[in-house]
Amino acid sequence: MKAALLALCAVTILSAGTVRAQSPTPESDLINPARPIPTGKAPAMQVKLVKDTPEEKIYAIVFLKGDEVLSGLTDFAIKYKVGDAHFTGIGAVSSATTAWLDLEKKMYHPTVTNQQVEVLSLIGDIAAFNGKPVAHMHAILGRRDGTTVGGHVWELNVNPTVEVFLTANTTALGKRPDAASGLKLIDPNL
């Protein structure tokens, strides 16, 4: 019985030296990389152009309580016709879904965070796939006890703010499907 339980569960050793079993992610909870990103979930988002040159534009994008960052960055890229960008950000969120990619399954295993956390690092890029912008981002989130969680971002629910600085380049980049991973990868030749 114990052997069967251990075969089904991953064991995490906590910093206090105790052992806690975590059930593997059920197949129904996995996230398909082709899942559409909802739009319109950042109604309080504010944007300011802080630098405008022929080669690039730099924007300050401020998300406020209740905004969802991935949706907002997708809306931003559509509205401002951004086809190539990179960005960084910091702030705080009340909940998040990050994930890690299971290459064998070509699916993401989600980690849901349902507590107030600091966005210690938010990095990402935007490139076009089939003529539409795709925001890709990773984050490290800091919990109140000093531990962190992170990965590929599927959802960041802002409280009280997330501040993103985005550099949009004039030369658009495209993405292509990658059969081996199931992802859309930037292809500099597109």
Residue 21 is assigned to a structural domain of this protein: no
Measured from the Cβ of residue 6, the count of other Cβ atoms closer than 10 Å reads 11
Residue 1 is assigned to a structural domain of this protein: no
The contacts of residue 136 (CB under 8 Å, 6+ apart) are: 124, 125, 126, 127, 152
pLDDT score at 175: 95
Query: How far is Cα 186 from Cα 40, in angstroms, rounded to an integer?
Result: 25
Residue 18 is assigned to a structural domain of this protein: no
pLDDT score at 12: 33
pLDDT score at 137: 98
The contacts of residue 98 (CB under 8 Å, 6+ apart) are: 110, 111, 113, 138, 139, 141, 149, 150, 151, 152, 153, 154
pLDDT score at 6: 37
* Half-sphere exposure at residue 136, Cβ-oriented, CA atoms within 13 angstroms: 19
Q: Contact at 8 Å (CB) between 148 and 98? A: no
Which CATH number belongs to the domain containing residue 86 in this structure? 3.30.1330.80
pLDDT score at 25: 57
pLDDT score at 24: 54
Using the CB atoms, write b or e for 57-94: b if 16+ within 10 Å. bbbebbbbeebbbbbbbbbbbeebebbbbbbebebbbb
Domain count of the fold of the chain:
1
pLDDT score at 21: 37
Residue 73 is assigned to a structural domain of this protein: yes
From first to last of the 190 residues of the chain, give the pLDDT tens digit: 344 333 333 333 333 443 333 445 567 799 999 999 999 999 999 999 999 999 999 999 999 999 999 999 999 999 999 999 999 999 999 999 999 999 999 999 999 999 999 999 999 999 999 999 999 999 999 999 999 999 999 999 999 999 999 999 998 899 999 999 999 999 999 8
Query: How far is Cα 179 from Cα 185, in angstroms, rounded to an integer?
Result: 10
pLDDT score at 27: 73
End-to-end C-alpha distance for the chain, whole angstroms: 54
pLDDT score at 151: 98
Q: Contact at 8 Å (CB) between 125 and 88? A: no
Residue 151 is assigned to a structural domain of this protein: yes
pLDDT score at 185: 94
- The pTM for the full model equals 0.84
The parent domain of residue 120 ranges over: 28-187
Q: Are strands 117-129 and 132-142 parallel, antiparallel or unpaired?
A: antiparallel
Residue 4 is assigned to a structural domain of this protein: no
